[in-house]
Amino acid sequence: MTAHQPDITMEDMYQFFAIIIQMGHDQRDCLKDYWSREEQYFTLFYSNTMVHDRFFHILRFLHFENNDNPPNRDDLHYDRLWKIRNIFDTEQ
């Protein structure tokens, strides 16, 4: 059974997106590697910014698009960013 997670705050979201941005500069084989204590992977930034379980809790429930009708991955024009495309297409 999963432990109860407290409500997500704006600070949590800023930390979450900071980690996502940093991950783009520090690519690893899998997401769990960012919190690894193994010498070749260890980077304090990730564990000092947000604990592993909190990050994955936010990641699990964060949605910008309805998942009920996903595009076909075999389509020649498949958009790998379809879940967040509306963020990039939004004009301010």
55 closest CA partner among 10, 15, 91, 21: 15
Nearest to 83, CA basis, from 57, 69, 64, 58: 64
- Identify which of 18, 23, 46, 59 has the alpha carbon closest to the alpha carbon of residue 38: 46
pLDDT at residue number 40: 87
pTM of the model: 0.69
Note the pLDDT of residue 13: 92
Mean pLDDT in runs of 10 for the chain (92 residues)? Answer: 76 93 91 92 94 92 82 90 76 56
